[in-house]
Chain A
Amino acid sequence: MEQVNIIQQVIIIRYAEIHLKGKNRGYFERVFSVNLEKALKGLRHELRRTSGRYLVTGFADADVEEIEERISRVFGVHSYSFGYLVANDLGSIYSAVCLVAPHNGTFKVETHRADKTYPLTSMQLNAEIGARLLEERPLLRVDVHAPQAYVYLDIRENGVALVFGTFLQGAGGMPVGTSGKGVLLISGGIDSPVAGYMMAKRGMTVEYLHFHSYPYTNEQARDKVADLARILSRYAGSDTLYTVSVTHIQEEIHKKCAAELNVTLLRRFMFRIAERFARQRDGRCLITGESLGQVASQTIEGITSSNAVVTLPVLRPLIGFDKEEIIVRAKKIGTFDTSVLPYEDCCTVFLPEFPAIKPKLSFIEEEEKKLDIEGLVAEAMTSLEAVRI
């Protein structure tokens, strides 16, 4: 064998549900590989696809931590492993095995042979490699049923083999961009970034739309939302935060309508504006961080009243989550610490003392007649700003 001394570090990336997609598989794979390339941008690497998985090679040792961090955020990655690409002779394979195998505890060798002409069968390879390891590492023991560590051998067709250890769990889900586009109503709170994350995980491209009430809310609050969107964009991709001022709308509601409906009415305006924004940008749905009953406006009556003013579907991926469950996810995503910074968002400035918990649609519509709905929405749309994040 010519390549005896070649041993190359490699990251093996396996994808999850893409193979379920039948005739669309090619499309899903293309989006997935574009997303992987985007994630690895700026770091030296080569990415290629081989029979149902991706291999990353040619990266610098110093970049390994960053590459892992980035891969762990790409949706569609089911699992990944660090390993070595070597010539498929026993000597080369064994030298790679020594790099991935543990020094003590229990282990098991598992071989997959794509190259059916390889002189040793899978069982023979397992036995051979296992025996050598046991001989050199006296603290190791074999346990074929519940080993503490695995050593995987994958004998490829073209004279090479992959040797790797642990399967690390990927972000799961579907490649972002394969499930259409949605508009996330993002506030400065804990929930909405998590909602955006959940939809991106299912392959949706997420656009971020934020409502502010300057000068009642401050620019720091907007910067905080931009920070949240930036964290979210590591998963969801979009690089722009859109903002719309609802100051005048809030003032009008405050001036003319029943105080207990302040939030209900404002939310209806936000939904109208978000839908209009979505249609301009080919968005197919609205996404909110609502969780049933969490606050007065998130009762089923509140949700009914908001849904009544739009025709696009409104996705609420957190609807069944408790606050604690949302917080666990926010911490995992990395948005929690930013979310809890104390800046006031839109809703709290004009907050009534006793908001309506079960607003009647007829009452809401009656109160809303006091407002120039179309005029206010159109005016708000002119305040649309794009912030690069």
Chain B
Amino acid sequence: MIYLDNAATTAPLQEALQRALPYAEEVYYNPSARYHGGVVAARLIAEARRYLTQTVADAALFDAVFTSCGTEADNQAVFSAGRRGNVVATAGEHAAVWAACNELKNRGTEVRFAPLRADGSVDEAALLSLVDERTALVSVVHVNNETGAINPVAALARRVKEKNPRAVFHSDGVQAYGKIPVRLTRDIDLYSVSAHKIGGLKGTGALFRRKGYTALQPYLFGGGQENGLRSGTENVFGIACFYYAAQSRSARINEDAARAEACRERLWSLLDPVRFVRLSPRTGTPYILTVSAPGKRGEVLQRRLWDAGVAVGTGSACSSKKPHSRVIEACGYEKEVLDGVLRVSFSPSTTEEEVVAAAARLNEAAAAE
């Protein structure tokens, strides 16, 4: 199987699994235990926290709360910060932020979604016009998970704070972290990441938090782990995998990105220009190429491709109730294009041979239907 759905999830890194294994087999102690075994587990978590934090920010200014996934991190950010005034987000948010914002709406908070440009990035002027003195939270996805467009979160955060210094700025960094360089500037308060997108395991995420931001609320109560912000016995093995995967990916983040970009452009150059249109911007993440075969059905193409040995993502479903991707729709495309969306996403281990073979299968599948 040529696996090109790495934005959905990616294979766990063997080296990370191997290094983490002792924390499943030997150091299985509860990190809250006061004897030595527990202390060893707790130290690993502290070390992972420090390391992960310093990959994105000055560890003196930020810390991290480990969560069970990116969705949990997003929810904790949105529900903690969005309890008064209004909330501004973008039409390109991942469902974890989008649905959490809609729930805020149900609970009586005003929520404003900024429109997107055709490539999936947020219309900056429109976003800023939605921010006012009553805005409590602004949430902007860093890398749009459906088109790969990168939002300039540092610049946006700066301009948001100029307009309303009290507004909290959150960004969902699940598709950015470990893939493109991330630096949390003074204007960013909260940043969500996930382990399984970079070779860690499902079941581990984190929310980076500016240390001065004290309004973060717990949503699970119990033993007071994670400074009381996320009770529940820590997922030591998952955190260890996350830590070691992040180490591997961070060490070669620029080389990997360059290779991924070569894959992305090579694939695009091999696709039949009559059958495919490109939705992903060249300035987007190198790891995602979203295309559409107008008039075809992405989900049917996806299954044909699986049967031909290529796994890709899609932006549509054959369900008659919710046929199109909300995010691609927000980019302003017509139905023909929306029907045929495919998302091809790469990993550092994607090879050129795979890309060439996948391109041929994609062209065949689009010709068949």
Name the B residues within 8 Å of A349 (CB-CB): 318
Name the B residues within 8 Å of A215 (CB-CB): 300, 303-304, 307
Question: Residues 266-308 of chain B: 1 if any A CB is under 8 Å from the residue's CB, otherwise 0?
Answer: 0000000000000000000000000000000101100110010
Where chain B touches its partner, the secondary structure class is loop
Question: Residues 203-222 of chain A: 1 if any B CB is under 8 Å from the residue's CB, otherwise 0?
Answer: 00000000000111110000
In the complex, whether B107 has a CB less than 8 A from a CB of chain A is no
In the complex, whether A89 has a CB less than 8 A from a CB of chain B is no
Name the B residues within 8 Å of A214 (CB-CB): 303
B318 and A344 contact, CB distance less than 8 A? yes
Name the B residues within 8 Å of A342 (CB-CB): 319-322
Name the B residues within 8 Å of A217 (CB-CB): 318
The distance from the CB of A190 to the nearest CB of chain B, in whole angstroms, is 15
Name the B residues within 8 Å of A218 (CB-CB): 299, 303, 318
B303 and A344 contact, CB distance less than 8 A? no
The distance from the CB of B39 to the nearest CB of chain A, in whole angstroms, is 43
Q: How many residues does chain A have at the interface if contact means C-beta atoms less than 8 Å apart? A: 10
Name the A residues within 8 Å of B322 (CB-CB): 342
The distance from the CB of B17 to the nearest CB of chain A, in whole angstroms, is 29
Query: Which residue in chain B gives the minimum CB-CB distance to A219?
Result: B303
Whole-angstrom CA separation of A218 from B304 in the bound complex: 11
B300 and A216 contact, CB distance less than 8 A? yes
Whole-angstrom CA separation of A349 from B320 in the bound complex: 10
In the complex, whether A348 has a CB less than 8 A from a CB of chain B is yes
Name the A residues within 8 Å of B307 (CB-CB): 215
Whole-angstrom CA separation of A262 from B117 in the bound complex: 40
Query: Which residue in chain B gives the minimum CB-CB distance to A344?
Result: B318
Contact of A343 among B300, B303, B304, B319 (CB under 8 A): B319
Whole-angstrom CA separation of A348 from B321 in the bound complex: 12
Name the B residues within 8 Å of A348 (CB-CB): 320
The distance from the CB of A315 to the nearest CB of chain B, in whole angstroms, is 29
Interface members, chain A 127-160 (any B CB < 8 Å): none
The distance from the CB of B308 to the nearest CB of chain A, in whole angstroms, is 10
Q: How many residues does chain B have at the interface if contact means C-beta atoms less than 8 Å apart? A: 11
Whole-angstrom CA separation of A343 from B299 in the bound complex: 12
Name the A residues within 8 Å of B321 (CB-CB): 342
Interface members, chain A 332-389 (any B CB < 8 Å): 342-344, 348-349
Whole-angstrom CA separation of A305 from B319 in the bound complex: 29
Where chain A touches its partner, the secondary structure class is loop
Name the A residues within 8 Å of B300 (CB-CB): 215-216
The distance from the CB of B302 to the nearest CB of chain A, in whole angstroms, is 8
Name the A residues within 8 Å of B318 (CB-CB): 216-218, 343-344, 349
Query: Which residue in chain A gives the minimum CB-CB distance to B321?
Result: A342
Name the A residues within 8 Å of B320 (CB-CB): 342, 344, 348
The distance from the CB of A324 to the nearest CB of chain B, in whole angstroms, is 21
The distance from the CB of A301 to the nearest CB of chain B, in whole angstroms, is 26
Interface members, chain A 305-343 (any B CB < 8 Å): 342-343
Whole-angstrom CA separation of A344 from B299 in the bound complex: 12
The distance from the CB of B255 to the nearest CB of chain A, in whole angstroms, is 37
Name the B residues within 8 Å of A216 (CB-CB): 297, 300, 318
Whole-angstrom CA separation of A218 from B317 in the bound complex: 10
The distance from the CB of B313 to the nearest CB of chain A, in whole angstroms, is 14
Interface members, chain B 192-222 (any A CB < 8 Å): none
Whole-angstrom CA separation of A216 from B303 in the bound complex: 8
Whole-angstrom CA separation of A261 from B149 in the bound complex: 45
Whole-angstrom CA separation of A349 from B307 in the bound complex: 19
The distance from the CB of B49 to the nearest CB of chain A, in whole angstroms, is 38
Query: Which residue in chain A gives the minimum CB-CB distance to B319?
Result: A342
The distance from the CB of A90 to the nearest CB of chain B, in whole angstroms, is 58
Interface members, chain A 218-238 (any B CB < 8 Å): 218
Query: Which residue in chain B gives the minimum CB-CB distance to A213?
Result: B300
B319 and A344 contact, CB distance less than 8 A? yes
Name the A residues within 8 Å of B297 (CB-CB): 216
Name the A residues within 8 Å of B299 (CB-CB): 218
Query: Which residue in chain A gives the minimum CB-CB distance to B304?
Result: A215
Query: Which residue in chain B gives the minimum CB-CB distance to A349?
Result: B318
Whole-angstrom CA separation of A349 from B317 in the bound complex: 12
Interface centre among B307, B318, B319, B322 (most CB of A within 10 A): B318
Name the B residues within 8 Å of A344 (CB-CB): 318-320
Name the A residues within 8 Å of B319 (CB-CB): 342-344
The distance from the CB of A333 to the nearest CB of chain B, in whole angstroms, is 23
The distance from the CB of B283 to the nearest CB of chain A, in whole angstroms, is 34
Whole-angstrom CA separation of A343 from B303 in the bound complex: 15
The distance from the CB of A71 to the nearest CB of chain B, in whole angstroms, is 38
The distance from the CB of A385 to the nearest CB of chain B, in whole angstroms, is 15
Whole-angstrom CA separation of A353 from B23 in the bound complex: 60
Query: Which residue in chain A gives the minimum CB-CB distance to B322?
Result: A342
Query: Which residue in chain A gives the minimum CB-CB distance to B318?
Result: A344
Whole-angstrom CA separation of A6 from B282 in the bound complex: 84
Whole-angstrom CA separation of A344 from B321 in the bound complex: 9
Interface centre among A215, A342, A343 (most CB of B within 10 A): A215
Interface centre among B297, B319, B321 (most CB of A within 10 A): B319
Whole-angstrom CA separation of A69 from B322 in the bound complex: 36
Question: Residues 28-66 of chain A: 1 if any B CB is under 8 Å from the residue's CB, otherwise 0?
Answer: 000000000000000000000000000000000000000
The distance from the CB of B158 to the nearest CB of chain A, in whole angstroms, is 42
Query: Which residue in chain A gives the minimum CB-CB distance to B299?
Result: A218
Whole-angstrom CA separation of A385 from B307 in the bound complex: 17
Whole-angstrom CA separation of A216 from B320 in the bound complex: 13
Query: Which residue in chain B gives the minimum CB-CB distance to A348?
Result: B320
Whole-angstrom CA separation of A215 from B322 in the bound complex: 19
Query: Which residue in chain B gives the minimum CB-CB distance to A214?
Result: B303
Whole-angstrom CA separation of A348 from B319 in the bound complex: 10
Interface members, chain B 153-201 (any A CB < 8 Å): none
Whole-angstrom CA separation of A342 from B319 in the bound complex: 6
Whole-angstrom CA separation of A342 from B303 in the bound complex: 18
The distance from the CB of A248 to the nearest CB of chain B, in whole angstroms, is 13
The distance from the CB of A72 to the nearest CB of chain B, in whole angstroms, is 33
Whole-angstrom CA separation of A188 from B319 in the bound complex: 13
Question: Residues 298-340 of chain B: 1 if any A CB is under 8 Å from the residue's CB, otherwise 0?
Answer: 0110011001000000000011111000000000000000000
Name the B residues within 8 Å of A343 (CB-CB): 318-319
The distance from the CB of B116 to the nearest CB of chain A, in whole angstroms, is 25
Q: Name the 8 nearest CB pairs between A and B, nearest first.
A: A215-B303, A342-B321, A342-B319, A344-B318, A215-B300, A215-B304, A216-B300, A344-B319
Task: With A215-B303, A342-B322, A344-B319 given, name 17 new contacts (CB 8 A).
Answer: A214-B303, A215-B300, A215-B304, A215-B307, A216-B300, A216-B318, A217-B318, A218-B299, A218-B303, A218-B318, A342-B319, A342-B321, A343-B318, A343-B319, A344-B320, A348-B320, A349-B318
Q: Can you list 11 A-B contacts (CB < 8 A)?
A: A214-B303, A215-B300, A215-B307, A216-B297, A216-B318, A217-B318, A218-B299, A218-B303, A344-B319, A344-B320, A348-B320
